[in-house]
């Protein structure tokens, strides 16, 4: 398992964070996701054999949010 931390721009409220969390957790290989509006970031625990980090970024950005940093 691997943890990715994404800095996200475009979230306006906790509902935005919940939207991102729901989308990311639907991706195959994602074990857990926590998304914080206050911190402007997502922390995702995933299996790199099942899903790529780029696919996770695409899931976050699909509704119009922007990933502006990765750790």
Mean pLDDT of 55-61: 95
Within 13 A of 15's CA, how many CA atoms are on the CB side? 1
37-53 per-position pLDDT tens digit: 999 999 999 999 999 99
3-state secondary structure (DSSP) of residue 20: helix
**Looking at residue 69, what is its pLDDT?**
93
**Looking at residue 42, what is its pLDDT?**
97
Q: What CA–CA distance (Å, rounded) separates 23 from 66?
A: 14
Q: Could you please state the CATH topology (level 3) that the domain comprising 2-70 is classified under.
A: Alpha-Beta Plaits (3.30.70)
| 64: DSSP letter | T
Domain ranges in the chain are 2-70
Instruction: Give the number of other CB atoms < 10 A from CB of residue 30.
Output: 20
Confidence at 71, pLDDT banded by 50, 70, 90: confident
Mean pLDDT of 3-20: 95
Q: What is the pTM of this model?
A: 0.91
């Amino acid at each position: 398992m691997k943890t990715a931390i994404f800095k996200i721009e475009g979230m306006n409220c906790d509902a935005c964070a919940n939207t991102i969390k729901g989308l990311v957790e639907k991706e195959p290989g994602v074990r857990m996701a926590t998304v914080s509006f206050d911190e402007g970031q997502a922390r995702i625990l995933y299996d790199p054999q099942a899903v790529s980090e780029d696919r996770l970024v695409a899931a976050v950005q699909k509704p119009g949010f922007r990933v502006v940093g990765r750790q």
